[in-house]
Amino acid sequence: MADYNLVPVPVHLEEGDGVLPLAGVTVGGPLAELLASELATLIGGDVPVVQEPVVSLAVEDGGEAGSYELAITPGGATVTGADRAGLRYGIFTLAQLARRAGEGWELPAVAIQDAPRFAYRGVMLDTARHFFDVATVKRVIDRAARLKLNVLHLHLTDDQGWRIEIESRPELTRLASGTGVFSDEGGHYTKADFAEIVAYAAANDMVVVPEIDLPGHTHAISLAYPDLMEEPQLLPSVMESVEAYGGDAPINGEPYRGMAVGFSSVRIDHEPTYEFLADVLGDLAEMTPGPWLHIGGDECHGTDKADYVAFINRVTDMVAGLGKTPMLWHEAGAADSLASGAVGQFWDLRSHDADVAEKTRAFPAVGGKVVLSPADAAYLDMKYDADTEIGLVWADGPTSVERSYDWEPGTLVHGLAEDDILGVEAPLWTETVTDLAAIDQLMFPRLASAAEHAWSPAKGAHPSRTWESFADRLGGLAPLWEAQGVGFHRSQEIAWVDA
């Protein structure tokens, strides 16, 4: 499949004979405007809409969710989705197949049958360390959707700032949203802003997962409700971070602009804390049509272990009572009474220990599933190499493109069965990320690795699921990404094709 620049690689592709000159799209088919727009972006001009269809689009119910079939012959092409999402994915595949032919463009004759491996295929954007406006979030959605990702996880709160309007607790955005890491001026999403993001995501067949990180990563709450917060725990790791990255040590009730983690905690044996969370999570549940509410649970180094377990037990029940599925980072698997169906998110290194694996397996044990985000492969905020200008290296050093591809979801966590895995997510933490250009640089091309792990068959089950094939296909996407305005990192690991 080296001649076809398809990422993620489809389940089945059969080569045909000849090519289809690319002249136009059918009138009135579902998502015809999307197809015309994608092709026009690549070709650099208007794609005519013709009465005699060159490319026909259809939805035929009955297939696997998100699946599609694409058939191209010298006489025409058809894209058939099992649902709207599947049709959309087929259109994106067709756009990747389009290639220049002299002064025009053409599509190779192929037949493709394709369907996703996992139901959850996500990207996370941290808006707490640095805030990104609605327009920027929409561009992230555009880019992710083209790689057949279907979940946008928004990290909305952390020590540095609170980013989501909660109508029942207006002090949160009035007092706790105006700062971020170092000189970031912060900001927040109004209820209308969030609704706009959710609607835009839905139009791109993506679900939004909002995260309120608890009980740690909560220093920003102290700016509005200091009585709900414990005093910061100035652990050695916290002070080492202050020394390494700068900024002041955290002080309760004062803005925190540094990069240390693990020092904050809400007061757990304190009933007003739960009254506060009932308001916050209740409002957020009403604003969120998707099934999941992410409530964090990571890096609670300053929280007593027994208190932590009691908190997780109670708050996962609270979320379930709101009609949502609680989602938490894998540490929360230490709780002894997780709400039924809770979803865990693994974020440790690929070389994690037995304790991490046990906590991760706790989620399937209560009827839930696991999303995989190994930090040393899927975390997009890691540097590519020592010379990368932005990014961090704490996840076992820099993460090259090859390293981002060098793992297999089915064997990552010992004892975790394929059916226990909900999907794959690539998080972008934003301590060093300030704008869309920086987002692009760190997301691309490594987001494509996560997309292929989430969509395509397992390694060993498909001939093109190798680093060599992936690198070749990835290099061929350069002209398309350039046309789409994606400011990707031109890693020297990849032989990039010029337009």
For residue 151, count other CB atoms closer than 10 A to its CB: 24
Angle at CA of residue 5, ends 115 and 154, nearest 5°: 60
Q: Which residues of 365-399 are buried (b: 16+ CB within 10 A; e: fewer)?
A: ebebbbbbbbbbbbbbbbbbeeebebbbeebeebb
Q: Among all residues, which ones are annotated catalytic? A: 299
CA distance 354 to 31: 47
Pair of tokens at residue 80: 């058939």
Contact 424, 118 (CB under 8 A): yes
Strands 12-21 vs 104-114: parallel, antiparallel or unpaired: antiparallel
The tokens describing 323, both together, are 């009609």
Do 130 and 442 contact (CB within 8 A), yes or no?
no
**Of 208, 214, 198, nearest in space to 291 by CA:** 208
How far is the C-alpha of 169 from the C-alpha of 160, rounded, in Å?
A: 18
In whole angstroms, give the CA distance from residue 445 to residue 468: 15
Q: What is the C-alpha separation between 377 and 399, in angstroms, rounded?
A: 6
Q: Are 346 and 373 in contact (CB under 8 A)?
A: yes
